Structure 1
Amino acid sequence: MIQEYIEERRLKGISEKTLELEEAYISLFLSFVEGQYEKSLELYEIRSSDVTRFLDEQSENNSDHTIIRKISVLRNWFDYLWRMNKIPIDYMAKFKYHRVLDPGKSTIDFSYQQLLEGKEKVLRSDISLNAKVVFLLIMRGIRVRDIRSFTLDWMGEEEGVTTLIFNGGMEREFHVIFTEPEEIIILSDAKIQAIFRGVPYLVSTRIVGEGAYTQFTENAMHTALSRLQEVLGLPVTAEKVRKSYLSYLINEKGYTIDDLVHHLGFRWETAAGVKKSIIES
């Protein structure tokens, strides 16, 4: 169906460059859905929630301007499917993304090198242990949702090496290895803190009005990031740090698509899209 859609758009005079981009976005979306359900779905089985999850993932590596463009492409694609009687309802006609998007938003306000230079200041500051763990993990490109859900079962410790194993379900399993003494001490302290608090999570937060602890909340993450902003003097967010890390790996370290797949657990299609986005930004 993609080729038929592209041909219809071509007959309307859409440029080949735009058509190439639209085909890539639609293929990326369908690949995401297939990876999410671990099987191919009929087009009529795809739901608006799948679009939302796709955009949430894409938002971690793309500017708001690009997300807006992807929504537009998917809206045109689903309109075509509806007109061709391939889907019973065109939910994209009234689709509204849950996050306010700013087409003029800058993707990165600082370099990864600035973060590296501020690392010692963060690790030796008086901010919370949770905030320091968050800093170490977003510096390695770990998503917020994976930080919040990470449990001690996936943490390995050997002499001089601490390994965290991540598996987001839709992506491949990958290992994040820490060898610097200060980093290892912080992660070890976080493990001890979790055991003391009686929770399986590497980072946790107190339940309001109770003495018990639970999974790190979005508010707790916001507080941790705010403290990191104060220490670093930079407008850091998890998304921007992740983008700066990916830019560093691709532009400074020369990471290939295969390297991103191996070291960050991306699907190949995701890695290709990330590299293209970084190079074009």
Structure 2
Amino acid sequence: MPYGFGKFLEEQGKSQQTIKDYQLVIKLFFQFIDKKFHKEKELYEINPRDVKDFLQDKLEKGSNRSTVNKYLSILRVFFDYAWQVGKVSIDPVMKIKSLPIHKKSIPPSAQSYVELLELLPEIRNHSDYTTQRKLVYLLALKGLRNVDFQFKKQDVQIERECVNLLLKNRIITFKDKADRELFIEQEKFIRHQDTPYFLITKKHNQSIFPIAFTTVVSHLEIISNDYSIDPKITVSRIRKEYATFLYQEKRMTIENIAYILGIEIASTTKLIRNSLEEKYRVKE
């Protein structure tokens, strides 16, 4: 595949079948572009309209919405990579939303922590999501703040039965086998990167930085679009939902919730109060 994209997918831990799927979709896309313009268009010349026309063409030729969304997800990964390696200055796919699929979407009124938690298995098994995107969602469900995502490799202790994440103000333990596998996959990828950080953002010149807040926002926004979650999920919103869930559903004390979130008791009280007030306003 062009620009070293195939090697990139291998480094991301994608299976050979998945890489073949990516290769096919990218080939179909460029064949469509060549036919549309009667010439080979340079990568930097491709714009959002070209991508939308390709997706519409697939719909008109009988592809269902799930398949078209898969095409979009693959193109999203490809052009994000092209942007990272400096082949395009603007990602033409970034603002294109996935087609809503109602049977898989979360209705606007159903945005509780429980429903976001129930979506986790599907996020973990999403074939087109990077391991890092899956981890961002998982970690957001544990109430991490934006700054908490910038932890280092040494802060992740992968044990035989669990993973311990050592944050500055608390320790989070992941006992689910599927969660542990995500950390293992990311560890395999990140061990070859010249950085002490576990989650990263790559700039155009291939410089590596701890994951940027904008990258976290982007991952959650893409998930929101793919699953028709409106309003979009954010770190702060999930954190509020998590605190309220622990208080109302798990019947935890404010002191215990403060310990879990790694914040002061007064801040926890305010967080839960604001969350409950927002819920009551929505009901009214």
Fold similarity call, TM over 0.5 = yes
In 1, Cα distance between the equivalents of 2:218 and 2:258? 31
Map of 1:221 onto structure 2:
216
Map of 2:197 onto structure 1:
201
In 2, Cα distance between the equivalents of 1:253 and 1:246? 10
Map of 1:187 onto structure 2:
183
Residue 240 (1) aligns with residue 237 (2):
yes
| Aligned residue type for 1:220 | T
User: Is the partner of 1:196 in helix, strand or coil?
Assistant: coil
- Superposed, 1:29-108 pairs within 5 Å as none
Deviation at 1:186, TM superposition (A): 0.5
Deviation at 1:248, TM superposition (A): 0.9
Map of 2:115 onto structure 1:
114
User: Is the partner of 2:197 in helix, strand or coil?
Assistant: coil
Residue 265 (1) aligns with residue 278 (2):
no
In 1, Cα distance between the equivalents of 2:132 and 2:210? 12
Map of 1:253 onto structure 2:
250
Q: Sequence identity of aligned pairs in percent?
A: 20
Map of 1:49 onto structure 2:
none
In 2, Cα distance between the equivalents of 1:213 and 1:226? 22
- Note the alpha carbon deviations across 1:223-276, whole angstroms, 9 max, x for none: 211221133321211121111111111111112111113222112222232233
Runs of 4+ in 1 over 3 A off after TM superposition: 278-281
Residue pair 2:240, 2:271 contacting (<8 A) in 1 also:
no
Residue 127 (1) aligns with residue 129 (2):
yes
User: Is the partner of 2:195 in helix, strand or coil?
Assistant: coil
Residue pair 1:194, 1:202 contacting (<8 A) in 2 also:
yes
- Superposed, 1:158-197 pairs within 5 Å as 158-167=159-168, 173-197=169-193
Deviation at 1:146, TM superposition (A): 0.9
In 2, Cα distance between the equivalents of 1:150 and 1:116? 23
Map of 1:231 onto structure 2:
226
In 2, Cα distance between the equivalents of 1:197 and 1:263? 31
Map of 1:143 onto structure 2:
145
User: Is the partner of 1:197 in helix, strand or coil?
Assistant: coil
- Gaps of at least 5 residues in structure 1 are 1-107, 168-172
| Aligned residue type for 2:242 | Y
Deviation at 1:279, TM superposition (A): 4.1
Map of 1:92 onto structure 2:
none
In 2, Cα distance between the equivalents of 1:278 and 1:129? 30
Q: Alpha carbons of 1:217 and 1:139: their partners in 2 closer, same or farther (altered >3 Å)?
A: same
Residue pair 1:141, 1:241 contacting (<8 A) in 2 also:
yes
Q: Alpha carbons of 1:263 and 1:218: their partners in 2 closer, same or farther (altered >3 Å)?
A: closer
In 2, Cα distance between the equivalents of 1:273 and 1:218? 24
Deviation at 1:109, TM superposition (A): 6.8
Aligned residues: 167
- Gaps of at least 5 residues in structure 2 are 1-108, 279-284
In 1, Cα distance between the equivalents of 2:120 and 2:198? 20
Residue pair 1:257, 1:275 contacting (<8 A) in 2 also:
no
Q: Alpha carbons of 1:224 and 1:128: their partners in 2 closer, same or farther (altered >3 Å)?
A: same
